[in-house]
Each structure stands twice: as structure tokens, then as C-alpha cells.
Amino acid sequence: MNLKTLPNTLRMASTKETEAEEKLLQVTAPPPSIFYKKYTREAVQNGTAPLPPSPPSGEYSAFGIAHNPDDPNSILAPLREHGVTQLYQDASNDIKELKKLNSSLVINFLDLLDILIQCPSSPLRTKKLEELELLFCNFHHLVNKFRPHQALETLIQMVKIQKDQKMNLIEQINSKMECARAGLHTTINSLPSTLAVDFSSEELDESMKDDSDNLQCNRAEEFDNILCDVEMLIDKQLHNT
């Protein structure tokens, strides 16, 4: 290779790599913007997190395809724009049209079976297959119009499932806490009476009173620490879920 042409070759290779990267960003999902780091737990609780971005207005590009939110046909273009005959009206009831197309599909399929039984080599077989293909294209196009509704219902079900899981977790934690409290009370009540100290006895030395008070204070602090640890574990489990 000539050394004089080497810089041009490297420049061309770099240009091709840049174009490939730009094309890849158009095809695949780009990485998230840096603004997501501003939505920390503390910022959301304090109200200092920035407001969510407003819906896009006008034409925008997603995955290399131009969309216009003001034009419903930009997401799902009519069949006539793809060169396919549309068998229903745009302002018609989609559910009724789906039922009509479904009935037409069944009837045409039975007709095709009759043709295959009587005369498989008949040209009517090809015509009937074309009619079935057209019916399936219109049926599939109408089904795609319900995709936004399906996505919304799917999201609602996902949120309900997450809510039920968290409610069940809270019930389990409350049940365990009640069992723990009952066990602690049972343990305390089952302590032998010889451990109890009669502070009204005149023969009890003052030093023994002080030791008993300190022992009871230490036990109370240990019990409070145990309850605090349990609450911290519960809060951590709830945050993780």
C-alpha cells in the first residue's frame, strides 16, 4: 500500500465507522440520558427532582422512523398506503368489522375446501387463496389498532400484581412481628419468680438495689435494640421490593 494514500484510507474507515454507529443508534434503543441521576430518593422526597418531560409535540424520530402524535396514521398507516385493498370504512365500528371479517374468513375457507375436494386444479383455488389473504390482512390490521389498549390493560395488570405482592409481604411481616411479640411476652412471663427483687424489703442493701436497677435498664435497652433491628429489617425489605 502506498504511504501517501494511507491517511485517506484511515479517514474513510473512520467515516464508515461513524456512519455505522449513527445507523446503530437509529435502529437500537439509545442509552438513557444523564438526567435520570437527578431522580434520587432524597430528591424525590424533598421535591427538588425536576419535573418529567412534557409529551413530544410535532414530528419526532424513534428508532429511525418519523412519527407525528397529531396524526394517528403515523403509527398505524391505512392499508391503502401499503397497496392493499381495505374492506372496511375508517369510521366504522372496529369490533363489528372484526366479527364480519371473521365470518367471511370461515365462509371462504369452507369454499376453498369444496374447491380442493371437487377440482384442486381449478383456477378458482388461486382466486380463493387471494381472497383469504386479503381478508387476513384486513383482520390483522384491525387487530393492531387495539395494541395501545392491550398495552394499557397489560400495564394495569402488572401494577395490580405488584400491589398484591407487596400487600402479601406486608401481611407476612405483620404476622411474623405478632409471633415475635407473643414469643417475647411468653418468655418474659415464664421467668422464675426468684429473679424478681422485692424493693420494699428493709434488709435489701442499697448496692443490690443499684445493681438490680442497672440490670433492668440494660435488659430494657437490649429489648429496644432488638425491636429497632426488626424495624430496620422490615424497612429494608420494603424498599428492596
What is d(CA 145, CA 90) in angstroms, rounded to the nearest whole number? 11
Sequential DSSP letters for 144-166: HTTHHHHHHHHHHHHHHHHHHHH
36: enclosing H helix or E strand = none
Please give the radius of gyration of the chain, using alpha carbons only, rounded to the nearest integer.
Answer: 37
Q: What is the pLDDT of residue 77?
A: 77
pLDDT in tens, the chain (241 residues): 444 444 555 455 556 556 655 555 454 555 666 777 888 888 888 888 888 777 777 787 777 777 777 776 666 777 887 888 888 887 778 889 999 999 999 999 999 999 999 988 888 999 999 999 999 999 999 998 888 888 899 999 999 999 999 999 999 988 888 888 888 888 877 776 654 444 444 444 454 445 555 555 565 566 566 666 666 666 665 565 5
Query: Does the predicted model carry a pTM greater than 0.85?
Result: no
Contact 67, 59 (CB under 8 A): yes
What is d(CA 48, CA 34) in angstroms, rounded to the nearest whole number? 16
Contact 145, 76 (CB under 8 A): yes
Q: What is the pLDDT of residue 161?
A: 94
Q: What is the pLDDT of residue 208?
A: 47
What is d(CA 82, CA 137) in angstroms, rounded to the nearest whole number? 11
End-to-end CA distance of the chain: 61
Contact 99, 157 (CB under 8 A): no
CB atoms within 10 A of CB 75: 14
Contact 135, 104 (CB under 8 A): yes
What is d(CA 233, CA 144) in angstroms, rounded to the nearest whole number? 47
